[in-house]
Amino acid sequence: MDIKEAYEPELSEPIKKAKKTLATGYTTGTCAAAAAKAAAILYKTGELPDKVTITLPKGQQVTLPILPPVVNLDGAGATVKKYAGDDPDCTDGALITVHLIPHKEPFHTFKAGPGVGVVTLEGLGIKVGEPSITKVPREMIKKAVSEIISDFFIITISVPGGQEMAKQTTNERLGIIGGISILGTTGVVKPFSTAAYRASVAQQIDVAAYQNLSEVVFAIGSRSDAIAQKLFNLPPLAFIEVGDFTGLALKRAVLRHIQSVHFVAMAGKLTKLASGVMMTHFHKSNIDTSLLRKIALETNSPEVVVKSATKTATARHFFETCVKHNTIKPLQMLCELAKQQMLAFINHQLLIDVTLIDFDAKQVIARS
């Protein structure tokens, strides 16, 4: 069967237009920088401002409201309530608190307060034992403080409830223990932005590679990840939820010299991959039901299976019809086509196998 060249689609036009009308939010790093600036003002003047203006990495300025600190420490503190705009985010509404305590050394030091994770594994670009605060937020926070006062501080960041929020992230798997991370590169969170998830996928692969894992498992989501962990006897760090970012994950694996990838997914995502679509978000690509029909015909499937391919706009009906009529060959071909597309996408620089699971994520149906 002839296959299309693999690609990563851009945002669809409806989503591009929708983004223009939806509210932009701010990263945890931006909130921490604003809280730090307010705390510095409190330390210097004895008065806590009700708002502060900070400069984002690309030069634009934003003004955020300030709340009193929500934890009691010595020194001066302030809090900013995280606002994610119209982008869903598990940290939306989180209270990002920064406390400043004078430091005897001529430099700033960062500490993790309650709800902020601590790094326990190499490969994240943050020293083991340090709070999980990435480079850009650290620089933003130090700059915000220096705009008010030249003193140096022990900077403690806390997020009440952050340990619970972290359960919705990949932090624990990455060896970030005790809470969320303070993140951000541009300072803003855009609606329909996938920057945080993309960064998480890249981080997981980086950590796996740093721990000398040459074999990893890519799963589309939590359910496929759960069954994958039963299928493959590998360390926890080897299991990576790539979501819709198969193309990005494959490229990162090549960059980090991973040798082999086991890919576990359901029929919908595999159909998109078999069509050459390496970014599989539903806003960015549709199921190619004509491909399913071709697969059914080439495997000499029963007429009921052939008709099911184009009866609906989803792959699920086709999948369920195949299973119902004990016709697995088209599903095996689907796995093989997805595998071929992924191999072509990274110029065969990895070993790849594909496992198709059912929609209840309970059993394996076919493999490449």
pLDDT tens per residue, range 339-351: 999 999 999 999 9
How far is the CA of 61 from the CAs of 27, 53, 56, 92, 320, in angstroms?
Answer: 14, 7, 6, 21, 53
Q: pLDDT category, 278, cuts 50, 70, 90?
A: confident
Count of CB atoms situated within 10 Å of the CB of 326: 7
- CB 334, CB 366: distance < 8 Å: yes
Q: What is the pLDDT of residue 192?
A: 45
More confident residue, 16 or 54: 54
What integer is the mean pLDDT of 228-253? 93
**Encoding tokens for residue 127?**
């020293």
Position 198 in a domain: yes
Position 291 in a domain: yes
Most confident by average pLDDT, 16-30, 178-192, 244-258 = 244-258
Is 332 strand, coil or helix?
Answer: helix
Tell me the H-state helices in the chain. Answer: 13-21, 28-45, 135-146, 162-165, 195-210, 222-231, 246-255, 267-274, 289-298, 303-311, 316-324, 329-345
**Encoding tokens for residue 87?**
């982008």
Q: What is the pLDDT of residue 1?
A: 62
With CA atoms as reference, report the closest residue to 42 among 72, 76, 70: 76
**Encoding tokens for residue 41?**
């003002």
Percent of the chain exceeding pLDDT 90 equals: 64
Verify that 357 and 238 share a domain, yes or no: yes
Q: What is the pLDDT of residue 23?
A: 59
- pLDDT averaged over every residue in the chain: 87
Verify that 253 and 221 share a domain, yes or no: yes
Q: Which of 156, 189, 222 is the last residue of a domain?
A: 189
Structural domain count, the chain: 2
- CB 68, CB 35: distance < 8 Å: no
Verify that 169 and 305 share a domain, yes or no: no
Which of 134-143, 147-156, 187-196, 205-214 shows the lowest per-residue confidence on average (mean pLDDT)? 187-196
Rg, C-alpha atoms of the chain? 24
Q: What is the pLDDT of residue 282?
A: 46
pLDDT(128) > 50:
yes
More confident residue, 114 or 284: 114
What integer is the mean pLDDT of 64-84? 89
Verify that 27 and 131 share a domain, yes or no: yes
Position 8 in a domain: no
Percent of the chain exceeding pLDDT 70 equals: 88
Q: What is the pLDDT of residue 258?
A: 97
Position 18 in a domain: no
pLDDT(78) > 50:
yes
Position 11 in a domain: no
pLDDT(68) > 80:
yes
Q: Which of 189, 219, 238 is the last residue of a domain?
A: 189
What integer is the mean pLDDT of 71-91? 79
Q: Which of 124, 157, 189 is the last residue of a domain?
A: 189
Q: What is the pLDDT of residue 86?
A: 55
Verify that 51 and 181 share a domain, yes or no: yes
Q: What is the pLDDT of residue 351?
A: 97
Verify that 40 and 79 share a domain, yes or no: yes
- Residue 104's domain comprises 23-189
pLDDT(126) > 70:
yes
Dist CA 100 CA 77 (whole Å)? 6
Which of 3-12, 146-155, 311-320, 324-333 shows the lowest per-residue confidence on average (mean pLDDT)? 3-12
What integer is the mean pLDDT of 14-26? 54
Most confident by average pLDDT, 86-100, 148-162, 285-299 = 148-162
